[in-house]
Structure 1
Amino acid sequence: MSDRTDTELLRLKAALGEYSTRFDADLLESCSSTNSLLLERASRGAPSGSVLWALEQTAGRGRRGRAWISTVGDSLTFSLLWRFDSSISLDGLSLVAGLAVVDALSSLGVAGLALKWPNDVWLDGRKLCGLLVELQQSGSRVGAVVGIGLNLDLPAGASRLDQPVAALSDALPRPVDGAEVLAAVLTRLAIRFERFAREGFAGQREDWLACNGLAGQTVRLIEDDGETLGLCAGVDADGALLLRVGSVVRRVLGGDVSLRRAAQ
């Protein structure tokens, strides 16, 4: 470790307070993908609560094969390993992770937050944060590796991206502190995941619906074989999207699909 990473980890531990014993955090100056590396560590028995935080990520992965590249200072990029009993359905886990991010940023004074199914956090209608959940079976337990990339400042070339993006610096009147934000998000993830283990997604569905940034709007569902226009009618108790097309409500599971506003 470098002096810089040691200092940041000490600051993270202090910011976590009573929750510091729940997490085993490691900070890297640079890595290819925090999710990939943490999945490797999970296969070797890393404990629940393991966190891999990178100041720079060079080959990060988003949904549908998209890249998530982060540079020092522009993005908070980390992955969390949380182990669940294999008897628990993990449907809707990415939605609950998004709720935890909203909880955390709201506690820091950020307004204008919303969620876009299945794994984006919006700030004033622009993408602020993306999530990627990958699962790994190990005996009677399932390890969920939750990767989160959150824009602290707008990255170079943001205007060329395929959707509007936002940064936390847009919403806070003070300098953005990565360790403080990470501590807030980890704490809320622990709270939400413990509740998820007891209640599944159904117990937090109403919370998610209250944050749905596309509620009642006309949207485009983009799939490999084409696009469908419909009204966003929320999600069901398993976290599946409910898309109203004419008089029919279609249930859409997560996977290799994308959801956008109709005009986007």
Structure 2
Amino acid sequence: MSLETLLAVLADGEFHSGDELGGVLGVSRTAVWKQLKKVEELGLPLQSIKGKGYCIEGGLDLLSASAIQQGLTADISSLIGDIDVRGVIDSTSVVAMEKAVQGKKGYICAAEQQTAGRGRRGRAWASPYASNLYFSVVWEFSGGAASLEGLSLAVGVAVVDALERSGLSGAQLKWPNDVLYQGRKLAGVLLEMTGDPSGNCHVVIGIGLNVSMPASVRIDQPWIDIRSVNKEAANRNQLLVAILNELMPLLASFEGQGFSAYRDRWQSHDAFAETEVAMTLGVDVVVGKAVGVDATGAIMIETASGIRKFNGGEVSLRAAG
């Protein structure tokens, strides 16, 4: 009996007796008990009541490759090579990078939980089981690194557009790769490249979206999830479908259009537009007013000595003061 099979039974949030679980899964009650211990080790709220059995309080919103595939339009499906839904893995981007090295364009890896999920600058990304979205997409580009300018910002626009179509409006974008809601982090984007920096290459686009984050999770920055804003929109399969419906055509056309096609939309959601900010780059700090991004996605800051532009790197952006 696999852990995934047991979780699929308990996903309904109802009580199931040990005998029932053993009968459905074809194993002894002792084997069921061993698997139930693994459920607890995942940090899931497993309840046990004598005479009733076992249940996961509130049930589980498990990812389903077939449900995701069915939700995609035919045009979007044609851009996707494989939808690979995993249980517990180290990182979807690690798995996707392995496929990228093999030249697997359109490969998508999604996971119920990551044990080594990461965000920008190597920060850990909280990834509790069956709670949020953690997925990575592989895409091929022929123009090398130069053709990727502004891609992470454009992906942010796609995420915001998908959220709006899902019933959550008001999300904002923080340069270069965060999605915020009411000033708190809702989602993040991370890009990694393999191949020829000046020619044919593959890019892994990693996206993490807080959907139903358990309150017990400790995160070192203000955060928010979909459930707390719009409970009806907190369906992980539907949210992933909505994002893919926006993201895949963006990837297919980005090399021809570039970031300039998304610049106005990004700026319309700019969380720091016309506000005083502090840009930290290494040991240097530049203070000024954020005045948008240029056609390549570089952030522009108006300082006492004029407008300065910054392109990625080890940069952190925080509201000044």
TM-score, normalised relative to structure 2: 0.76
Q: 1:154 aligns with which of 213, 234, 253?
A: 213
Give the drift of 1:142: 1.6
Structure 1 range deviating more: 233-242 or 220-229: 220-229
For each residue in 1:171-215, what CA deviation from the matched residue of structure 2 results, as whole angstroms up to 9, or x when unmatched? 224262111101110110112223322211112211111111110
Q: 1:20 aligns with which of 61, 73, 77?
A: 77
CA contact (8 A) 1:53 1:79 kept: yes
Q: 2:234 aligns with which of 140, 165, 176?
A: 176
Q: Which amino acid aligns with 1:85?
A: S
Gaps of 5+ in 2: 9-60
SS at match of 1:239: coil
CA contact (8 A) 2:100 2:203 kept: no
Q: Which amino acid aligns with 1:10?
A: S
CA contact (8 A) 1:73 1:152 kept: no
Q: Which amino acid aligns with 1:215?
A: A
Residue in structure 2 matched with residue 81 of structure 1 by the alignment: 138
Q: Which amino acid aligns with 1:68?
A: W
SS at match of 1:30: strand
Cα distance in 1 for residues equivalent to 2:293 and 2:214: 32
Residue in structure 1 matched with residue 66 of structure 2 by the alignment: 10
Q: Which amino acid aligns with 1:69?
A: A
Q: CA RMSD in A?
A: 2.2
SS at match of 2:242: helix
CA contact (8 A) 2:131 2:211 kept: yes
Q: 1:145 aligns with which of 201, 204, 218?
A: 204
SS at match of 2:147: coil
Residue in structure 1 matched with residue 276 of structure 2 by the alignment: 218
SS at match of 1:174: helix
Cα distance in 2 for residues equivalent to 1:229 and 1:256: 16
Give the drift of 1:140: 4.6
Give the drift of 1:226: 3.6
Cα distance in 2 for residues equivalent to 1:53 and 1:244: 40
Q: Which amino acid aligns with 1:198?
A: G
CA contact (8 A) 1:222 1:228 kept: yes
Cα distance in 2 for residues equivalent to 1:161 and 1:135: 27
Structure 1 range deviating more: 132-141 or 7-16: 132-141
Gaps of 5+ in 1: none
Residue in structure 1 matched with residue 167 of structure 2 by the alignment: 109
Cα distance in 2 for residues equivalent to 1:66 and 1:248: 33
Cα distance in 1 for residues equivalent to 2:188 and 2:89: 18
Q: Which amino acid aligns with 1:14?
A: Q
Give the drift of 1:6: 9.9
Residue in structure 1 matched with residue 108 of structure 2 by the alignment: 51
For each residue in 1:228-253, what CA deviation from the matched residue of structure 2 results, as whole angstroms up to 9, or x when unmatched? 22111111111001011214111101
Instruction: Indicate whether 1:185 and 2:249 are aligned.
Output: no
Q: Which amino acid aligns with 1:63?
A: R
Q: Which amino acid aligns with 2:112?
A: L
Name the count of aligned residue pairs: 261
Q: Which has the larger radius of gyration?
A: 2
Cα distance in 2 for residues equivalent to 1:202 and 1:175: 30
TM-score, normalised relative to structure 1: 0.92
SS at match of 2:247: helix
CA contact (8 A) 1:34 1:53 kept: yes
CA contact (8 A) 2:99 2:107 kept: no
Give the drift of 1:21: 3.3
Give the drift of 1:155: 4.0
Structure 1 range deviating more: 78-87 or 170-179: 170-179
CA contact (8 A) 1:28 1:54 kept: yes
SS at match of 2:73: helix
Cα distance in 2 for residues equivalent to 1:92 and 1:248: 23
Give the drift of 1:72: 1.3
Q: Which amino acid aligns with 1:40?
A: E
For each residue in 1:93-143, what CA deviation from the matched residue of structure 2 results, as whole angstroms up to 9, or x when unmatched? 000100000110100110111100000001122110011001111595221
Residue in structure 2 matched with residue 201 of structure 1 by the alignment: 259
Give the drift of 1:156: 4.0
Instruction: Indicate whether 1:65 and 2:118 are aligned.
Output: no
Cα distance in 2 for residues equivalent to 1:58 and 1:156: 18
CA contact (8 A) 2:212 2:226 kept: yes
